[in-house]
Amino acid sequence: MMMIPLRALMHYRSGFFILVFIFILAVLFLEFRVQDIHDEQDKQLRDALDNSHMRHLQKVPTPLVADELYQQKPMYPLIIYNRVPKTGSTSFTSLPYTLCETLKYHVLHVCTEYHLQVLSVQDQIGIVRNISNWSAKQPGFYHGHFAYIDFPRFGSHVNPIYINMVRSPLDRFISYYYFLRHGDDFRPSLSRHRARSNETLDECVMRQGFDCAPERMWIQVPFFCGHNPECWKPGSRWALEQAKSNVVNKYFLVGVTEHMEEFVAMLEASLPSFFKGAHHIFMKGEKSHLRKTVQKLNPLPYTLDTLKNNDVWTVEDKFYRFVLETFRTNAARSLIIEKDHSIRTVKQQFSFEKIRPWKRSSNG
């Protein structure tokens, strides 16, 4: 039997191990390359889906990526009026629509499908991205029936000026109840959701109907509280405190329907680029009461007592009174009401002095 020399055997083994090692490296390289290809395909698919989804959300040309949201800087002020239903919002919104062309800004209505007031996370960030980056519509006044959205929470460089109004909870609730049945004098031919029902609020409360249940009164607190699920739990004390905190820390000014004239006067004095001339237009009466609910009946004392006898009304009323007191204090500091009930704003009460260093001349 032929014997293979030991040196030759070692040479063959070394060559075999080298080939095995090269083969393993080739397999690993191919595996990593295939994974890279899969990752790149997944990324392209996600980008395509995200772009397609954002086109659906924005309904404006050229969807924006997240990086652009963080890099761009605001050029002009933005106002958001997340209007509470049946608080006089139609009359108030008519003012910026009248003034926008003269004062050179844009007014846009944020329309939600099915009148949704609580939005999905993707719709919230869609609104944030559009308002933050839609430079062609800046300066802008945005309005719509939706709960407060915290722009910085979504990483936006924009922190809009929020304004709003509230109304006595029972007055707002009664107006809304009859509005759903009989509409208003703004669009009298439009058929409302409960147009076939002639049931009065007294009759509804007597039979404990759905439309007059205490939970239906829960609207102003959650609008100011936001989109947290706890905000929309009727009677939530946490929601009340969060709403009050937002009024103080997140809203520029919150007015009261019963004192809309003062609200308009304060906005004109503080934000003239949006409201210069608003008070005069409001006082002429052409825009002050555009929408009035028709066939609104005053409830019986029993009905009012029943509606007040629950936690929802208690919390809503506490919130309303907090806003009312805050607004009255701000109005007292900002406005002077004359004997003839005319309103004028307080003159500027500050100046800058002791400024150093002085501007140097060109000669030093």
φ/ψ (deg, to 5) at 143:
-140, 150
Which residue of the set 143, 157, 193, 259 is catalytic? 143
Examine the residue annotation and report whether 280 is marked as an active-site residue of this protein: no
Which residue of the set 145, 182, 259, 341 is catalytic? 145
Examine the residue annotation and report whether 145 is marked as an active-site residue of this protein: yes
How far the first Cα of the chain sits from its last, in Å, is 107
Can you give the three-state secondary structure of the chain, one letter per residue? CCCCCHHHHHHHHHHHHHHHHHHHHHHHHHHHHHHHHHHHHHHHHHHHHHHHHHHHHHCCCCCCCHHHHHHCCCCCCEEEECCCCCCCHHHHHHHHHHHHHHHCCEEEECCCHHHCCCCCHHHHHHHHHHHHHCHHHCCEEEECCCCCCCHHHHCCCCCCEEEEEECCHHHHHHHHHHHHHHCECCCCCCCCCCCCCCCCHHHHHHCCCCCCCHHHHCCHHHHHHCCCHHHHCCCCHHHHHHHHHHHHHCEEEEEEHHHHHHHHHHHHHHCHHHHCCHHHHHHHCCCCCCCCECCCCCCCHHHHHHHHCCHHHHHHHHHHHHHHHHHHHHHHHHEEECCCCCEEECCCCCCCCCCCCCCCCCCC
The CA-atom distances, in angstroms, between 252 and each of 81, 201, 206, 258 are 11, 36, 41, 19
What does the block give as tokens for 358? 């002085």
What does the block give as tokens for 299? 């409830």
**Burial (Cβ within 10 Å: 0-12, 13-18, ≥19) of residue 338:** exposed
CA 256, chain centre distance (Å): 19
Catalytic residue ranges = 143, 145
